[in-house]
Amino acid sequence: MNRHHQPRVAVVTGASGGVGRATVRRLAQSGMRIALLARGSTGLQAAADEVRAAGGVALPIRTDVADYRQVDAAAAQAAAELGPIDVWVNNAFTTVFAPFTEISPEEYRRATEVTYLGYVHGTMAALRQMLPRDSGTIVQVGSALAYRSIPLQSVYCGAKHAIVGFTEALRCELLHRKTHVRVTMVHLPGLNTPQFDWVLSRLRRHPRPVPPVYQPEVAARAIERAARRPNRREYWVGGMTVATILANRVVPGLLDRYLARTGVSSQQTGEPASPVRPANLWQPADSPSGWDFGAHGSFDDESHRFSAQEWLSEHRTGLTAGALLTGAAAVATRIARRHR
């Protein structure tokens, strides 16, 4: 896509809840045709209804992204029923909140197959549709934890690191073949999504996002922007994301010690974990008899609807030009004063 082309058809994985749910609602506002991929049925149908209500066209497809055949079949169905795919958003994930020593090999494998290989499968399926047309954008939804790991999230952090690794290799290959297909990443901060209510957890207290916490609509705006402007390698969302990534480049050892002291408690509330909480590792939490979790989690009261860093990033060209003009004017003034 070039900057004058408006994407019309999108595929979003993990569309039934959280960031995926907020993203499909956002994309639908411009009338896009959207294939919604997720395992569960209740949230998927509710998300499709919201897309239609917002003015878009919805094609819900029950898909386990850990199975490449399902993902490829979903891509083919989306292209056949909606038209050529302009944007593919890889977003689906699952994880285990627990110390590394309390996670079984089978649980680690399953979470990795969904969270890492799900992105690989989605990218493969998208490229099969996009490369023959020499057009399209793949958006990888990442995290600050793709660059700075934290305790209790070895599964998630490992998968997000791996996504960065394969995406950077892929980007080089796409540049080498001089294709117009683009791939970009959007790295997110702590978000108020249902993941803290439905992922497998072995913590004694209820899990929570690391503050400051943002609403998923903040992420959805950044993903939409990346889909329309894919020439940037990465988008960093939230001031803490920027600070975390940059600090890890400079003082990673210091962050190790800081997170050893604070990282465990900062990811748990004061409430004991429910013994009957759902876990979506093996089966979707929103089964036919379940309920719709929606986009938001349990932390609305403390979550920010906007990010100042997001605004600055979006307007960085104008701000940079303004700063240069201001600096040039200041220099010119000083020179004029010297020659009076």
pLDDT tens digits for range 17-57: 999 999 999 999 999 999 999 999 999 999 999 999 999 99
pLDDT above 50 (res 320): no
Residues in the chain: 340
Segment 247-253 long-range contacts (CB within 8 Å, at least 24 positions apart): 247/148, 248/147, 248/148, 252/148
Question: What integer pLDDT is reported at residue 7 of this predicted model?
Answer: 77
Set 147, 156, 214, 235: catalytic member: 156
Would the pTM of this model clear 0.85, i.e. be above it?
yes
CA–CA gap between residue 190 and residue 87 (Å, rounded): 25
Question: What integer pLDDT is reported at residue 253 of this predicted model?
Answer: 98
Span 181-212, pLDDT tens digits: 999 999 999 999 999 999 999 999 999 999 99
Three-state DSSP at 178 gives: coil
Question: What integer pLDDT is reported at residue 308 of this predicted model?
Answer: 77
| Average of per-residue pLDDT across 274-279 | 91
Question: What integer pLDDT is reported at residue 289 of this predicted model?
Answer: 62
Specify whether 156 is catalytic.
yes
CA–CA gap between residue 284 and residue 39 (Å, rounded): 6
Question: What integer pLDDT is reported at residue 314 of this predicted model?
Answer: 66
Q: Is the pLDDT higher at 221 or at 309?
A: 221
Question: What integer pLDDT is reported at residue 288 of this predicted model?
Answer: 61
- Percent of the chain whose predicted confidence (pLDDT) is above 90: 84
Question: What integer pLDDT is reported at residue 299 of this predicted model?
Answer: 96
